[in-house]
Chain A
């Protein structure tokens, strides 16, 4: 799980967007029309409910306390708390709604095919891509 060494060589322009970049916008934003059919996307309603469950667990607090103990703040970043970060992003018990949201996101990703399985990892692990304009039709796939 190495962070890309290319790092933030931010050359000025926006990255091309994959579907993962705009999925939230497409599904949650934009103009809605009441009283008309919204296509029932399998699982979406359920996931929306899941995403609002608040989990504030003692386990999370204990992990935070432990992780802070392990973290060597004088070192330059090699030692750390990968377990905590993995736990926090893997849908285990979490503080605040973000945990449940994340769990829901994972399930949500499962609803769709895995053909952009790299999207989440990519956005988490990689530095911004070279500046390119948003993909146009025909560029994708």
Chain B
């Protein structure tokens, strides 16, 4: 174990179970003058870290990519990924206040993700398909819109707003229906799921699956079937295996031994 000099801080990527060689290669870490990625170990737990200057604050895209690269090398083993940007003062702090103080919590998290990976299904609407689906369910809205089109805008402003408001509500309903169409068949195959809302009107949602690695063929096949079934409306982008980011969304409180 190498102690960091006083003018350096320690950037943390992940916590894993201790092993001889957790990393396939010897990557360098984040920062403008990257230090080697190394492990800080206490018993069964190892933090994967690299040194950064204690004044280092300005992270950029390259650092995010580095964080991702280091974690992607660890995927497949029990792995608790840190959120991007977690820095502690030094190895001693890391040991005393994280690996030792929260050893129990970290072990529990590692147990939960052992033998599992995160797979991500991101769903995007194809052009127009959301409204088409809405109008298929509510043809009356289309009829009203067509009728309004034939009348002057100035005198039908309120009706147009009312109609548009109704359409907007139906769009939300349709998004929920589409979300369920994907989530419900896949959830039973996963150990756990998270659904994140879409970030634009085109972006329907993200579904995060924590799956046993042995379940991969079944999950892949199920996603494939859904992608084919929903192809006319939704484009599914299926990515993984990833570090289980969405299933380690906890906050360690360093002042106590319990979760914050």
Chain A contacts to B: CB under 8 angstroms: 1, 3, 7-8, 10-17, 19, 21-42, 58, 60-71, 73, 77, 80-82, 85, 88-89, 94-99, 101-102, 105, 112-113, 115, 123-124, 126-128, 131, 133-138, 140
Residues of chain B within 8 A of A16, CB atoms compared = 239
Known contacts A12-B221, A123-B237; A30 and B127 CB within 8 A of each other: no
22 residue pairs A–B, Cβ–Cβ below 8 Å? A3-B127, A10-B223, A14-B119, A14-B240, A22-B242, A30-B82, A30-B243, A31-B81, A32-B83, A34-B251, A34-B254, A36-B86, A60-B164, A65-B164, A71-B131, A71-B142, A88-B200, A89-B200, A98-B200, A98-B203, A133-B241, A137-B72
Residues of chain A within 8 A of B167, CB atoms compared = 61, 64-65, 68
Q: Give the docked Cα–Cα distance between A22 and B64 (Å).
A: 10
Known contacts A68-B135, A71-B142; A98 and B197 CB within 8 A of each other: yes
Query: Is B235 an interface position by the 8 A CB rule?
Result: yes
Query: Is B20 an interface position by the 8 A CB rule?
Result: no
Q: Give the docked Cα–Cα distance between A71 and B138 (Å).
A: 14
Chain B interface: which size bin? 35 or more
Q: Give the docked Cα–Cα distance between A77 and B241 (Å).
A: 35
Chain B contacts to A: CB under 8 angstroms: 9, 12, 15, 24-25, 27, 56-61, 63-65, 67-69, 72-73, 75, 80-88, 98, 109, 118-120, 122, 124, 126-128, 131-132, 135-136, 141-142, 145-146, 148-149, 157, 160-161, 163-165, 167-168, 171-172, 196-203, 206, 208, 220-221, 223-224, 227-228, 231, 235-243, 245-246, 248-255, 260
Among B109, B164, B171, B242: residue with most chain A CB under 10 A: B164
